[in-house]
Every structure is written in C-alpha cells, then in structure tokens.
Amino acid sequence: MVKINLNNFRRSDGSLFVYRPKVYFDNLCFEYGEKTIDEKLEILSELVANGMNLVSEIERYMKDRSPNTLASLKNTLAYYFLYLKGEDPYLTGFHGLDDLPEIRLAAMLQESLVTHYDDIHFKNSIEGL
C-alpha cells in the first residue's frame, strides 16, 4: 500500500487537492508515467476517503485545458473506473463510458474510490491478523 502524507495534499485552507494533477489525469504527458495505475488509485482513494471532492478537483483541472487534454482526461477517468471494476478497457472496451461527460465520470469514479479505499484497508487488516 502506498503511504502518503496528507499534509502534502492540503491547501492553505485545509482542503485536500490532487498535487501535480498531470501525474493522475493526463495520459498524454510524460508526468503520467511517474506512478503506476495502482499507486495513483490508492492515493486518489485515500484523498477521497479523507474528504477530497474529486468532482471539484476535475472541474478545476478542466479550466483552460486543450481539447486533447480534455479527451485524455475523459479516457483516463473511464479507464480508472473500469480498472477498479477489474477490467482492462483497452482489452474489453470502454462500454460507452468514454462518451459520458468528465464530471459524471468523476462522480462515478469518486464512489468507486471510496469502495477501493475500504477494500484496501480491509485486506490490510486481515493480513495483519
């Protein structure tokens, strides 16, 4: 499990945010390769479980982005959602999820990240027995 210091992801007002969002959301840039998909999802899960609003972060990220970056974002969010469900959308297809608006995908992903966080912590508690 990835360990993060939540203070590194806090704004001055105390709210959580995605530090260096290109690492998480822009699969067309070189920063995206800095972490594995599992690491990214674990970090996003922890942030969401501790109160970060992923939908708001996506809305903030989308401002002043190119059409290519927005297309990349949509594919990335759909990919994450399906990956958490145990699918590899590059093998099984996106099932039309990549046609949904980014904000809808972010809301769906946020719900899945909470479940993912609970699953990670449940597995770790069993392994610690």
Q: Where are the domains of the chain?
A: 6-124
What integer pLDDT is reported at residue 124 of this predicted model? 63
Let me know: does 83 contact 89? Beta carbons within 8 Å: yes
Give me the chain's average pLDDT, please: 90
DSSP-derived letter for residue 14 is S
pLDDT, one tens digit per residue, over 28-44 is 999 999 999 999 999 99
What integer pLDDT is reported at residue 107 of this predicted model? 97
What integer pLDDT is reported at residue 125 of this predicted model? 57
Residue 74 buriedness (CB in 10 A; 0-12 / 13-18 / 19+): buried
Rounded distance, CA 13 to CA 105, Å? 27
Its pTM stands at: 0.87
pLDDT, one tens digit per residue, over 45-79 is 999 999 999 999 999 999 989 999 998 999 999 99
